[in-house]
Structure 1
Amino acid sequence: MTTETRTEAPVLTGLPVVGSMFDLKNDSLGTFLRARREHGDVVRITAGPPGARAHVYAVFSAEGAQQVLAGESANFRKDNAFYQEIRESFGNGLLTSQDEDYLRQRRLVQPLFTKRRVDGYADAVATEVTTLTDEWEKDGRTSVDVLQESTRLALRAVARILFGTDVDSAVEVVERCFPGVGSYVLRRGYSPVNVPREWPTPANRRAAALHEALYAECDRIIAERKSSGRADADGDDLLSLLMAAESAEDGAFSATELREQVLVFLLAGHETTATSIGFALHLLALHPEVQRRAHEEVDRVLAGRAPGAADLDALPYVTRVLKEAMRLFPAAPVIGRRAVAATTVGGVAIPAGADVIVAPWVTHRHPAYWDDAERFDPDRFTPEAEAARPRYAWFPFGGGPRACIGQHFSMLEAVIALAAILQRHGFEAVDTEVPVAPAITLQAAGPVRCRLVPRAV
């Protein structure tokens, strides 16, 4: 706990009775930007009528984010209402588990995400890109929604990596069920009062049916894998490795735990990467000179062949494009925690039990770290520029002991996919303004269309 002098957090101006409830409902990301601009790096935001009013302490500085996620991570836990809703919908996997449950799961899963293992997934990503771009050409597509297509690509890639050959059925169930479950989690996570999930309301019954379909598909694939004898530590897919994961200290995953890890990997493994790839293509379409430089690097390095893991270091500009896209459109624009004990952040008092957020969406635009922050400029991520900024000026994967275990996998998948797509196509923007809103991950509130410009391979 810090010992600096405490001051009370400034409060964002809202309506007399409901505070900032409607501002958060209509434009939460814009509300957080306004809070920092008007009141500084730690702001209290109130929402809701008396008797059901929520108080959230928003932390916007890089130093504050580091304290919440890393320096005092034990004091800021995933105990808020939003994580509880994700936990109830997707299980107690790595994304939502805590304490010894989390440590045990992380120890069992960590060997699946070594650099050697992750590099072995590059071919699966390149194969799915080829399938996607072949479809564009076969169908005579002249324009695509790049976020929609990136979501389809990332889902098929993570399903292939997770399940091996059991891809099509899993993809169909996820595409059908995830949006509805995500909307249900979002509504309940941000509502001050919810009816119990067991009550037979129409919304609860629809969500229960979607949950059951997801669980049944995971259980089917796991059962078939067990009966086939394909699950072993030498298997090429993550499910085989998960089923074989075991240690004297931690035992092995139960059937329920396997299902929960699979669901979390499907959720976190495709939506976040899809956001990065889709918005990178959108930004390249808006900035032809940056796109030209990316094309030149891809053509020079790959010379027409498919990209692989060994090419990542040779594609620094494509990597910078992705990092800049992740700055402007972080897949997790807001990260929530709950304070266990009273502390201070930036000299501002945070009471015990307070809901606290850190916001990559805001910190990634903070004028203390980013000049002309809304401008797209991949050269912000040269090694020299990165070294000159605070560690948590850019944190799209979270940070501290709960940082995303799949960071290397996500970057590998995104760089391989973007390079392979740029080999065959250029892009011109159709939708120049794309409104966004936070859900479980960042979502576009409308289409993100680009015209396709075929290139000679």
Structure 2
Amino acid sequence: MPITDSQPDSPSGSRPVPAPTDDIPGPAGLPLLGSMLDLRRDSLSTFARARREHGDVVRLEAGPPGLRSVFHAVFAPEGVQQILASQAANFRKDHPLYEEVRQAFGNGLLTSQDADYLRQRRLVQPLFTKRRVDGYAAAVTGEAATVVDRWRTADDATVDLVPEMNRLALRTVARILFGLDAEEAVTAIHRCAPVINAYVVQRAYVPVKIPRHWPTPGNLRARAAMDELNALCDRIIAGRRAAGGAADGPDGAAGEDLLSLLAAAGNAEDGSLDATEIREQVLIFLLAGHETTATSLAFTLHLLARHPEEQARVRAEIDRVLADRVPTAADLDRLPYLTQALKESMRLYPAAPVVSRRAVAATEVCGFRIPAGADVVVAPWVTHRDPALWPDPERFDPGRFAPEREADRHRYAWFPFGGGPRACIGQHFSMLESVLALATLLRGYELHAVDEEVPVAAGITLQPTGPARVRLRPRVGAGE
């Protein structure tokens, strides 16, 4: 809650509530650079160490004097709930990372605020109803079945799950967004997205930013990639409008691809989206809709490959529920243990490992006063590994997400989709896509881990920085 210097008297006989303190603990860091080098080297380990050594609210400084950034990390689920949900209006997306994403991909749902966000959400929400999303199940299973077939020709029967799942998730979301125009989009996004992502992250965390219009090699590479993606989307949107706003959807139904639905979205209060707004929504959906799902798919498969007993239990459930038929949206609730394994993977490897905000007013969080204007981060990567919330937190245990254990846990002990009014609009789509794709792949193959550990780093999303290789063993009769 926003706070004042005065505190109400304690009720007679009760323990007085201590006033919030401005003295927030944190690492001293280096005399001149603070924690800057640690954060650049490994921000996720730096945040985890800060929680272990200093508690649930930590103050960090990074950068040289005069250019130093100061921000506050909040790890307790009660504090996370304040920032994302109960007091979300006091914590805005004004952090430098969101500004860089906004400059690169436009003012779509991920980055817009206030009236812009509310209008966009009202226009886009009908496109993500359960009924509408369930209609994309065949597109998901079709793309996953293509991977099952292609793996039969893999060299040495070994694949790296990182590029494989990135390709699968990208092809799936492009097919759902663009229908028959997906192939052209996949090629451009695969080439351009890594360049833009690296540029955004680098600019977000440097103390002095080179103006974007200067002709430096980095600026020129990023601008070329942004121009290519913008031109691609504009060309497809223009063609769609010239054809009357409809094209074959992911399963052949006219006008059912997401781009056609965006072009047709409108109501009396909010009007409709113009061509620029449609492009900005499409680019955000491409960014948020394929990298995050690819991360969840790759790590779920790799963790199951490292834990054969869990993989066998998941596969037994898949065989029992599906037999020889293709999974459908109705099977989402019929595969509970597969869903638990997916959720446990998302606990250990959340696709959005750190979420940033900026405080509007001074606010008490977990007994500490966060000042107005302060940058604030919450970190699923850290909260998901708190041993007070998750005993033996590094252990892969899908049983943690059995319904009775979930019911006993704080709502914000696990928040891979964020929470509150800015929770991910595509949460149901992500879960549907992940469960159906995993069921299709695991029914076709047994996986055996080659790499035991996969290094990661925090970018716009969680980035594997090494391979996640597995050996494939086709299951007799599977997928035939």
Range of TM-score over shorter length: over 0.9
TM-score, normalised by the number of residues in structure 2: 0.94
1:190 aligns with 2:190: no
Deviation at 1:10, TM superposition (A): 0.5
- The separation in 1 between residues aligned to 2:156 and 2:347, in whole angstroms, is 30
Report the residue type matching 1:422 in the other structure.
Answer: L
Aligned to 1:129: 144
1:145 aligns with 2:145: no
1:430 aligns with 2:461: no
Give 3-state SS (helix, strand or coil) of 1:443's partner: strand
Matched-pair contact (CA < 8 Å) for 1:234–1:241? no
Matched-pair contact (CA < 8 Å) for 1:124–1:161? yes
Deviation at 1:308, TM superposition (A): 0.7
Matched-pair contact (CA < 8 Å) for 2:100–2:204? yes
Give 3-state SS (helix, strand or coil) of 1:150's partner: helix
Give 3-state SS (helix, strand or coil) of 1:165's partner: helix
Matched-pair contact (CA < 8 Å) for 1:18–1:49? yes
Give 3-state SS (helix, strand or coil) of 1:31's partner: helix
1:49 aligns with 2:64: yes
1:160 aligns with 2:175: yes
1:208 aligns with 2:223: yes
Aligned to 1:98: 113
Aligned to 1:6: 20
- Higher Cα Rg: structure 1 or 2? 2
**In the TM superposition, what whole-angstrom CA distance separates every residue of 1:228-273 from its partner, at most 9, and x where no partner exists?**
2243897221011100001100000011001000000101000011
Stretches of 4+ moved more than 4 A in 1?
A: none
Report the residue type matching 1:22 in the other structure.
Answer: L
**In the TM superposition, what whole-angstrom CA distance separates every residue of 1:129-168 from its partner, at most 9, and x where no partner exists?**
1111111114455011112111100000000111111111
- The separation in 2 between residues aligned to 1:234 and 1:403, in whole angstroms, is 30
Aligned to 1:119: 134
Residues 18 and 140 of structure 1, relative CA distance in 2, 3 Å threshold: closer
1:379-418 to 2 correspondence within 5 Å?
Answer: 379-418=399-438
Give 3-state SS (helix, strand or coil) of 1:452's partner: strand
Residues 92 and 141 of structure 1, relative CA distance in 2, 3 Å threshold: farther
1:87 aligns with 2:87: no
1:165-180 to 2 correspondence within 5 Å?
Answer: 165-180=180-195
1:297-376 to 2 correspondence within 5 Å?
Answer: 297-376=317-396
1:277 aligns with 2:327: no
1:419 aligns with 2:419: no
1:224 aligns with 2:244: no
Report the residue type matching 2:331 in the other structure.
Answer: D
- The separation in 2 between residues aligned to 1:115 and 1:191, in whole angstroms, is 41
Residues 139 and 377 of structure 1, relative CA distance in 2, 3 Å threshold: closer
**In the TM superposition, what whole-angstrom CA distance separates every residue of 1:334-383 from its partner, at most 9, and x where no partner exists?**
00000011111101110011000000000001122100000000000000
Report the residue type matching 2:386 in the other structure.
Answer: H
- The separation in 1 between residues aligned to 2:158 and 2:284, in whole angstroms, is 32
Matched-pair contact (CA < 8 Å) for 2:2–2:361? no
Report the residue type matching 1:344 in the other structure.
Answer: E
Aligned to 1:442: 462
Report the residue type matching 2:265 in the other structure.
Answer: A
Q: Which runs of 5+ in 1 are unaligned?
A: none
Report the residue type matching 1:49 in the other structure.
Answer: P
Aligned to 1:33: 48
Residues 230 and 252 of structure 1, relative CA distance in 2, 3 Å threshold: closer
Q: Which runs of 5+ in 2 are unaligned?
A: 4-17, 248-252
TM-score, normalised by the number of residues in structure 1: 0.98
- The separation in 2 between residues aligned to 1:140 and 1:37, in whole angstroms, is 44
- The separation in 1 between residues aligned to 2:274 and 2:299, in whole angstroms, is 38
- The separation in 2 between residues aligned to 1:135 and 1:222, in whole angstroms, is 31
Aligned to 1:73: 88
Matched-pair contact (CA < 8 Å) for 1:339–1:353? yes
Matched-pair contact (CA < 8 Å) for 1:69–1:402? yes
Report the residue type matching 2:340 in the other structure.
Answer: R
Deviation at 1:2, TM superposition (A): 4.7
Report the residue type matching 1:450 in the other structure.
Answer: V
RMSD: 1.2
Give 3-state SS (helix, strand or coil) of 1:56's partner: strand
Report the residue type matching 2:45 in the other structure.
Answer: G
- The separation in 2 between residues aligned to 1:248 and 1:25, in whole angstroms, is 48
- The separation in 2 between residues aligned to 1:93 and 1:37, in whole angstroms, is 36
Report the residue type matching 2:206 in the other structure.
Answer: S
- The separation in 1 between residues aligned to 2:189 and 2:438, in whole angstroms, is 23
**In the TM superposition, what whole-angstrom CA distance separates every residue of 1:291-311 from its partner, at most 9, and x where no partner exists?**
000110011111021111011
Matched-pair contact (CA < 8 Å) for 2:2–2:363? yes
Matched-pair contact (CA < 8 Å) for 2:141–2:440? yes
Report the residue type matching 1:72 in the other structure.
Answer: Q
Aligned to 1:254: 274
- The separation in 2 between residues aligned to 1:5 and 1:241, in whole angstroms, is 52
Give 3-state SS (helix, strand or coil) of 1:166's partner: helix
Aligned to 2:8: none
Aligned length, in residue pairs: 457
Report the residue type matching 1:375 in the other structure.
Answer: R
Report the residue type matching 1:81 in the other structure.
Answer: P
Report the residue type matching 1:398 in the other structure.
Answer: G
- The separation in 2 between residues aligned to 1:130 and 1:420, in whole angstroms, is 7
Report the residue type matching 1:258 in the other structure.
Answer: I
1:279-298 to 2 correspondence within 5 Å?
Answer: 279-298=299-318
- The separation in 1 between residues aligned to 2:154 and 2:234, in whole angstroms, is 35
**In the TM superposition, what whole-angstrom CA distance separates every residue of 1:160-207 from its partner, at most 9, and x where no partner exists?**
111111111000000000000000001001111101111111111111
**In the TM superposition, what whole-angstrom CA distance separates every residue of 1:384-408 from its partner, at most 9, and x where no partner exists?**
0000000000000000000000000
Matched-pair contact (CA < 8 Å) for 2:74–2:376? yes
